[in-house]
Amino acid sequence: MKCVYSSRYFRIFLKDSVSKNIEISISKKNFNLSVDRNSIKRKIREIYRTDDALTKFSGDIVFSVFRPFGELSYAQAKNEIKKGMTFFLKKTNEQ
């Protein structure tokens, strides 16, 4: 697993795999309540599901979420994820 994008909100890792799945890792240390962790996971999955550009990859994508991500609105989170994924797609297309 290698890190392909890092920001203050999250990191994106790529795992070599035949499937095209998304995995979301949120630490209990950063978000004590399961309600908060599940809300963030739902937000990321919805952004990923609704944007067709984010599905153009091969392998599993792993999001590792940090505390500042919880403070973002849905629109801000969508912009940050799109920014990370466009960087990720550009980097994987160059290889």
Return the pLDDT at 3: 83
pTM summary value: 0.83
The two structure tokens encoding residue 23: 């995995």
pLDDT 10s digits, 24-43? 999 999 999 999 999 999 99
The mean of the pLDDT values for the chain is 86
Contact 65, 26 (CB under 8 A): yes
Q: Torsions phi, psi of 56, nearest 5?
A: -90, 75
Architecture of the domain spanning 2-94: 2-Layer Sandwich (3.30)
Residue 89 clears pLDDT 90, i.e. is over it = no
- CA-wise closest residue to 2 among 81, 65, 60, 66: 60
Q: How far apart are CA 32 and CA 8, in angstroms?
A: 19
The two structure tokens encoding residue 31: 């978000």
| Higher pLDDT pick, 45 / 20 | 45
Residue 87 clears pLDDT 90, i.e. is over it = no
